[in-house]
Amino acid sequence: MFKKNKLSNGLRIITVPMEGTKTVTVLVLVGTGSRFETEKISGISHYLEHLFFKGTKKRPNALMISEELERIGADFNAFTSKEYTGFYVKVPVFHLDVALDVISDMLFNSLFLSKEIERERGTIQEEIKMVKDDPPRYVADLFETLLYGKTPMGREIIGTPETVNSINRKELISYFRNHYVASNATLVIAGAIESNSAVKMARKYFQNFKEGKREKAIEICENQSKSKILIYPKQTNQVHLSIGVRGYDTKHPDKHALTLLSVILGGGMSSRLFISVREKLGLAYYIFSSPEFYTDTGYLTTQAGVDIKNVQKAINVILTEYKKIAVKGVSKEELKKVKDQIKSRTIMRLESSSAMANYFADQELLTENIQTPEEKFALLDKVKIEDIQRVAKDIFMNKKLNLVLVGPFKRKEEREFVKMLKI
């Protein structure tokens, strides 16, 4: 039961009333992220995300912003992805006015003071180090680097130490003015609200969102003709690997079949890969598969952490499961189980106003076509056994295989691993 409104400046407002909750989440998604950046300013979207919290005309420093939100017990933060940047505040519903006031103030009136820009360089440099010291997280970033190479999609969202050090105030403000326009944003208010009053309140704070044209991202060219590998040498006690294939974009008709396929392979403790790699062979503590759907590209990957002596064995088992599902397909019972699993997990997750806000926001921003949970469930129900096998045969091909390893290897060992990438 959502409603969609559009202000005269082009801002889309989605209101999602929810029963059984006393909270409300205000989420603003802006359609800019690292794939909109040139190499010279790589990381600028993420840099800007930090600076919005550093002071406005009304709240001149970071402490005044955080104190006002923490005084009302708010859960608040921001995030940057390849295709959008998000800002959210979750509060008890009687503090909705404050949440809208603060988040709009940050987006429209941030000062971007030179001293704060300089100070934040050091903070982001430490964040870069933290990411690289977290192999399970960093291996996922490197998988996209392997897939998309020296393109905006292949670069890390956070930028590099060099680009973060070189970005200046003029570039930050120029990027902000070009991308932070009303037509390039979606505001979602989800929770214990009444739609009309929520829209009225939102109009009060967001009617001055400046107008402008949306910037276009650089298109991705899918031209992989052979398997690829990337080794990131690092002294670790455990090798972290990500092995996967190119998949589909978010509007592809087989998106739901690929989602089901991913859950069958590695979506829980009863999934095929969890049973074969962990339960039967004890090769890994964690292993999972997941799909990624961007506006014009996508992939499926399996990630695991294993002992260095078991790396080759783990890779072979994963590839065997890939082949098995392409050759033999899945059973009727197995398909029903994962459909029920996805539905149940979605229902439970969407009991949270913050999850509900995210659910509607990215659909509207990226596709301008919102499907309710019930509509998505109906599409899942239409997926047949033969669809799963057809998709598996399409994606699980030798030329589409990609492998990233983070661990105590040398780059010259890549050749040996490439020989293994066969289904």
Single out the catalytic residue among 19, 37, 49, 351. 49
Say if residue 236 is exposed, middle or buried (CB neighbours under 10 Å; 0-12, 13-18, 19+).
middle
Residue 49 appears among annotated catalytic residues: yes
DSSP label of 30:
E
Residue 75 CA from chain centroid, whole number: 20
Question: In terms of Cα–Cα distance, which of 104, 124, 102 is closest to 51?
Answer: 124
Strand order in the sheet with 239-246: 228-233, 401-407, 239-246, 298-306, 284-293
Question: In terms of Cα–Cα distance, which of 48, 304, 356, 341 is closest to 188?
Answer: 356
* Count of CB atoms situated within 10 Å of the CB of 364: 19
Spatial separation of the C-alpha atoms in residues 198 and 193, rounded to whole Å: 7
- 205 neighbors 104 (Cβ within 8 angstroms): yes
Active site members: 49
